[in-house]
């Protein structure tokens, strides 16, 4: 069976939007000078609508995590470790979303990725929403 044609979990991103600059938050959550950092900043900047944004992804010891729950917990760990000086920046975010990505395929018949109530409670405490994105095989 060809893996690229199978439905499978890709990764989980953390998407933030705010009316204030997010660069300081990105530097702490995903330090560029730390080799093998567990969090990577995919992008940080300002959109055409003048809203600031930052997008992150979690990496395990050997690349992407195997499950969404592992990836989400790595992101939550990084957020919970933010210094007090950045709590106001986190609270200013109007969007805090974990986006779980899957690649669609013709097999298997279904894919299940459970998220425990403990992880959901951590997300709720931090005001984080969840989204699920399914990419077609053609992408």
Confidence (pLDDT) at 2: 53
Distance from C-alpha of 132 to C-alpha of 92, rounded to nearest angstrom: 24
Q: What percent of the chain has pLDDT over 90?
A: 63
Extended beta strands in 61-128, E state: 95-103
Q: What is the pLDDT of residue 112?
A: 83
Closest CA to 17 of 110, 95, 91: 95
The two three-digit tokens of residue 97, written as one number:
């979303």
Residue 94: count of CB within 10 angstroms of its CB: 11
Helix (H, G, I), strand (E, B) or coil at 8: strand
pTM assigned to the model: 0.88
Report the C-alpha gap between 50 and 96 in whole angstroms: 17
Q: What domains, with CATH codes, occur in the chain? A: 3-135 (3.30.70)
């Amino acid at each position: 069976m060809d893996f690229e044609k199978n439905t499978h979990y890709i990764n989980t991103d953390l998407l933030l939007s705010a009316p204030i600059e997010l660069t300081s938050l990105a530097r702490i959550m995903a330090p560029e000078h730390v080799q093998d950092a567990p969090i990577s900043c995919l992008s940080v900047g300002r959109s055409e609508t003048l809203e600031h944004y930052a997008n992150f992804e979690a990496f395990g010891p050997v690349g992407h995590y195997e499950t969404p729950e592992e990836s989400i917990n790595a992101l939550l760990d990084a957020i919970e470790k933010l210094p007090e000086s950045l709590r106001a920046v986190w609270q200013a975010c109007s969007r805090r979303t974990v986006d779980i990505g899957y690649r669609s395929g013709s097999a298997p018949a279904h894919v299940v990725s459970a998220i425990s109530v403990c992880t959901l409670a951590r997300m709720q405490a931090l005001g984080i929403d969840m989204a699920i994105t399914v990419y077609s095989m053609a992408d």
